[in-house]
Amino acid sequence: MLEKEKLQRINALAAKKKAGSINKEELEELKGLREEYLENFRSSFRKQVENTKVVDPEGNDVTPEKLKRIQQEKNTRE
């Protein structure tokens, strides 16, 4: 998870950018922080999806085969 301070810095730099008072160094810092944030988000989301089991209203496992294969490769599913 991205540290609270980094998220606050992203927001502060984004506000400066919107106000038109950001310099080149801060713009580069913002770009790097956003990339780090997106990388972290994607990783967390991927892990969440890879640990998901889909069940229909009758209780049958209807998890897509592609997801089942990924789960088996990562030993998160029998």
Q: What is the pLDDT of residues 17-35, one digit of tens each?
A: 999 999 999 999 999 999 9
Total domain count, the chain? 1
Instruction: Work out the widest C-alpha separation in the chain, in whole angstroms.
Output: 58
Range of the structural domain that residue 32 is part of = 4-73
CATH number at residue 69: 1.10.287.540
Q: pLDDT of 37-70, one tens digit each?
A: 999 999 999 999 999 999 999 999 999 999 999 8
Q: What CA–CA distance (Å, rounded) separates 40 from 7?
A: 12
Q: Which residues pair with 55 in a beta bridge?
A: 61
**Is 78 among the domain residues?**
no
Task: Measure the CA–CA gap between 67 and 23, rounded to whole angstroms.
Answer: 44
Assessment of whether the complete model's pTM goes beyond 0.85: no
